[in-house]
Structure 1
Amino acid sequence: MNDLLSIDELRLALTHIPADDRETWVNIGNAVKTEYGDDGWFAWDEWSQGGESYNAKDAQSVWRSLQVGNNRMGTIIHHAQQNGWKRERQDMTAADRKRMKAEQEERRKARQAEIEADEKRREAMRDAVAMACRHFIKKHCVREGQSAYLNAKQVGAFGVWFPRCSVVISIDDQAQRADVWPGMEVKRFFEELPQPRPDHISFMRIQQGDVVVPLRDANGKVVSIQLIKPNGTKLFPKYGRKAGTWHRIGDASEADVVAVAEGYATAASIHMATGWPVAVALDAGNLQRVVPLLGQLYQQARLVICGDDDPQVKDNPGRKKAEEIAQAMHAVAVFPQLSQEAA
């Protein structure tokens, strides 16, 4: 456990860390907010101003969105020491050390309470969004519809839905609720939306021609949606569950082979070519969460991971992730092969 730095020590340590790398910038912000709460905002913002791309509005927005608990004091000290910082030794009495330890423990308890309260709030919002998604599908979607995206990909509509009218799903962090505004109510939503739009209000606008992909948990319950626009843009509602969820194409309950792919179009193509049931895992990061769940649900089946292969992308993460998961799960990893003409 690293001793908490005073605010002045924190400001000094931060001066040794370059503020230009966004991932480092966010991680340091998370650590500062975790350890100091909003008392650390000034020190983090002061340090952030040393970055070439600093934007005051962006910094304020990122600070508000940071979830405490992902990084701690060790992250700050590690980066500072990597860049030459050394903490000045201070002569302290036993009483001083005892007082600082007590203050540090008090801060940690306060931060832990914030973490637990924030997670409780986020879980409530995830439930509200899940309920709104289910209501939207039940009341305002149909099984058959037109999609420029599906036509362009030359794949069918397997288990997806189509909106029967324009719909807005609004999400209000402050009121902790999610609402569905169909048809003519869409106009009323935008008329009543405060301008400029408050940060605590977000929304997803759904229109005819979009494809609605229901995302289910391991119990088969719809907990969120993926929206695919005619041009292929993919959207998710704020707070919509994604980790460990997938879309099901075909019935895998008694299948000998169950395939899993990242995107809907790829999965639909595999299903059309093989007849296999296919799980749509959405991306490489979620693939590693979905495959173990599929292994538990369909123990009778051979799992085939149909990975993305993008050699032009740095480190080819789709292929790398698929091979790692296949090895860990004793599954088979396969990748597309293009003909010379297609290549």
Structure 2
Amino acid sequence: MSQPYVDETARVRAALAVIPADDYGTWVDMAFALKNGLGNAGFEVWDEWSRTAANYNERAARTTWRSAKETGGKTLASLFWLARQHGFDLKRAQYPDQMATALAPRAEVREQRAREEARQRARYAAVAREAQAIWEWARPVGPEHPYLARKQLEPVPTLRELEAPELRALLGYAPASEDVPLTGRVLVVPFWIGEAISTLELIDESGRKSSLAGGLKRGGYWFAGEAPNDAESAAPILIGEGMATVLSAHRATGWVALASLSSGTLPEAAAILRARFAGTELVVLADLGPGESKAREAAQATCAHLALPVFAKEERIDDQVPTDFNDMAVLSGFASVGDRLREIVYRHEEPLAATPTPAADWEMGTVSGEQKEEVMSNVKEKLLTEAQEPTRRRGSKRSGPEQVTPTESSAPLAASGTSEPAAATPADDSPAVPARQFAPPRPPVGEPLFAVTDVPSDIRALAEHRFGSPLRMATPRENGGPYRGEVFNSEHYLIQEVATRSVVFHPKAQMVFVSERLRWMDENARLNGAELQVGYDGDRPKVYPWDRARELLERTVGSLKKSARELNFSPNLEVMLDQLQTRSWARVREARAAALEQSKERAAPQDPPGPDR
């Protein structure tokens, strides 16, 4: 009698069902075994089994599977041998139907995973609140920001800035890029999910980038110009990776432009945008290099145009190969960027970089100088021709409203290659896109919120007992602050020594603590003696962490740098001062840690002895 046929995938699923997925070594071995036996088709089975572990992480699973090799030394025989150790019967001709659902997580695993997801959601919400507070505290970008000036960009309302020391005080830690702290004037770039800020990207003067720790990034976007709404837009919508790229394209076209936080989140952001604007032309702005594959994926998944920048082979920016539309704008002008994007959208052609041409003269996204000039001239001629003969234009591939080339901006483009293109004019019957309302800039400081005599006498007496007498007492002003110094906490007031023998009384009725740690310290009576800074949004106080020693060190080093520049000392001195500041702060932290350990050791002998055994 012939052996009954057994589907190998079903046998693998049944065998995995009896093997616990919680052990890391076993988990990795099974990835190698399934990669060897089933190839990439085995990922679905392995991932389903992996989800039965309490510590499952989707990102870690995908990374581990990609790193697994078919020749890693583990095979399906290894899997079946391990399954037999857990009671699996390999000789059965078929497996009960319940084996198909045996890979469902256990009840305790589901409960633990639900708790972890709840904690993660709470973490995202806390970071979002912190991001909103920092955004409201930040001020509009001032003139000549070094990063924007280098990119030849102008500030927009959706950008703000803070000094790096302010940012450190607000966050309670120094944001860094590859272990290098951000310095100078830091751009604050909000990323939205729906109608709320989810996290912030932080960019310092030299272009180092960071983001808030623990913030939700997937599906988030930053936008330049008017905020998109759910009404269909007559003009195309641009989406790309990075603020500078998107802002350059927005300036060149006037179209609504959105940026994802990274190339990895670009496909998801594009999918969300396509779901909201089913009939609108979408243009995915690709960076040449590693991010190009994600841009292509996003464009293909959303039926969007893929736009690649065009460069001459010999062109460089700071001795680096240019890669994005901001580089193209810096090298060739914003008019060239606008021409390129309009050609891609309104002619419904493949990007020029993908046009078949002799291999000796063309590369992906790269053309020679003469060909580049010819390409851009052809773009202008086509735009002018279409402006004169609009009836010959091909219709949209989708069912959305037909795109019309703006005639007012085409003629100037054809006449002059240096003039900046105007925004595309929407059709008369298209709904207007309302601009998102942002928090206004920080208003001026007003009058005191209340008189000192309104503070209860017992609170004033408590302040004198804590900080000495005679004591100068004051109350906060509307939109005042930041007030910095040591605090003493009471039930209804936070008493803060802002200078020697000078205190300010902060009412706690509407007080907001910007971090969970500060809120916990308040609830558990741990704020006494802490050094904080308090700022006012109208009459509402907001409490932020502050470190007196660090600020004093930074001010001292900053003063020394200023004196060095005035005396024309070598720039190397500033580098040395930065190194000295870093080392000094590390020594302060080491001293604090040592003092804490000594305090614990002194407290240990005073603990009461345990019960007799």
Q: TM-score, normalised by structure 1?
A: 0.62
Q: 1:13–1:85: 8 Å Cα contact kept in structure 2? A: no
Could you say which structure has the larger radius of gyration? 2
Counterpart-to-counterpart distance in 2, 1:309 and 1:329:
20
Q: Does 1:128 align with 2:126?
A: yes
2:192 to 193, 216, 226: 216
Aligned to 2:161: 162
Counterpart-to-counterpart distance in 2, 1:15 and 1:299:
44
Counterpart-to-counterpart distance in 1, 2:300 and 2:107:
41
Aligned to 1:303: 282
Q: 1:165–1:207: 8 Å Cα contact kept in structure 2? A: yes
Matched to 1:337, the amino acid is V
Aligned to 2:245: 266
Q: For the structure 1 residues 86 and 105, does the alpha-carbon distance in structure 2 shift closer, same or farther, using more than 3 Å as the test?
A: closer
Task: Write out aligned runs for 1:1-343 (5 A).
Answer: 1=13, 2-5=16-19, 67=57, 71=61, 81-82=74-75, 85-88=78-81, 89=84, 108-144=106-142, 146-158=144-156, 159-163=158-162, 166-168=165-167, 181-182=169-170, 208-217=184-193, 219-251=194-226, 252-253=228-229, 254-299=233-278, 301-310=280-289, 317-342=290-315
Counterpart-to-counterpart distance in 2, 1:289 and 1:234:
22
Q: Single out whichever of 292-301 and 233-242 deviates more from structure 2.
A: 292-301
Q: Deviations over 1:203-224 (max 9, x none)?
A: x97764111101011x232111
Q: 2:286–2:295: 8 Å Cα contact kept in structure 1? A: yes
Q: 1:17–1:83: 8 Å Cα contact kept in structure 2? A: no
Counterpart-to-counterpart distance in 2, 1:303 and 1:13:
42
Q: Deviations over 1:20-51 (max 9, x none)?
A: xxxxxxxxxx999965658xxxxxxxxxxxxx
Deviation at 1:237, TM superposition (A): 1.1
Q: For the structure 1 residues 236 and 164, does the alpha-carbon distance in structure 2 shift closer, same or farther, using more than 3 Å as the test?
A: closer
Deviation at 1:82, TM superposition (A): 3.7
Counterpart-to-counterpart distance in 2, 1:263 and 1:116:
34
Deviation at 1:80, TM superposition (A): 7.1
Q: 1:162–1:208: 8 Å Cα contact kept in structure 2? A: no
Q: 1:270–1:278: 8 Å Cα contact kept in structure 2? A: yes
Q: Single out whichever of 127-136 and 223-232 deviates more from structure 2.
A: 223-232
3-state SS of paired residue (1:138): helix
Counterpart-to-counterpart distance in 2, 1:284 and 1:134:
24
Q: For the structure 1 residues 206 and 166, does the alpha-carbon distance in structure 2 shift closer, same or farther, using more than 3 Å as the test?
A: farther
Q: Deviations over 1:292-312 (max 9, x none)?
A: 2222334453111111112xx
Matched to 1:144, the amino acid is G
Deviation at 1:91, TM superposition (A): 9.3
Counterpart-to-counterpart distance in 1, 2:235 and 2:288:
25
Aligned to 1:59: none
Aligned to 1:41: none
Counterpart-to-counterpart distance in 2, 1:234 and 1:287:
18
Runs of 5+ in structure 1 lacking a partner?
19-29, 39-65, 95-100, 170-180, 194-203, 311-316
Aligned to 2:325: none
Q: 1:162–1:210: 8 Å Cα contact kept in structure 2? A: yes
Deviation at 1:287, TM superposition (A): 1.2
3-state SS of paired residue (1:166): helix
Q: For the structure 1 residues 138 and 85, does the alpha-carbon distance in structure 2 shift closer, same or farther, using more than 3 Å as the test?
A: same
Counterpart-to-counterpart distance in 2, 1:332 and 1:90:
55
Q: For the structure 1 residues 263 and 4, does the alpha-carbon distance in structure 2 shift closer, same or farther, using more than 3 Å as the test?
A: same
Q: For the structure 1 residues 84 and 298, does the alpha-carbon distance in structure 2 shift closer, same or farther, using more than 3 Å as the test?
A: same
* Count of paired positions: 260
Matched to 2:266, the amino acid is L
Aligned to 1:61: none
Q: For the structure 1 residues 333 and 108, does the alpha-carbon distance in structure 2 shift closer, same or farther, using more than 3 Å as the test?
A: same
Runs of 5+ in structure 2 lacking a partner?
1-12, 33-46, 90-98, 175-179, 317-613
Q: For the structure 1 residues 34 and 80, does the alpha-carbon distance in structure 2 shift closer, same or farther, using more than 3 Å as the test?
A: farther
Q: Single out whichever of 131-140 and 81-90 deviates more from structure 2.
A: 81-90
Identity of aligned residues (%): 21
Counterpart-to-counterpart distance in 1, 2:26 and 2:116:
30
Q: 1:267–1:279: 8 Å Cα contact kept in structure 2? A: yes
Question: Of the two structures, which has the highest relative contact order with CA contacts closer than 8 Å and spacing of 6 or more?
Answer: 1
Counterpart-to-counterpart distance in 1, 2:191 and 2:141:
16
Q: Single out whichever of 129-138 and 104-113 deviates more from structure 2.
A: 104-113
Q: TM-score, normalised by structure 2?
A: 0.36
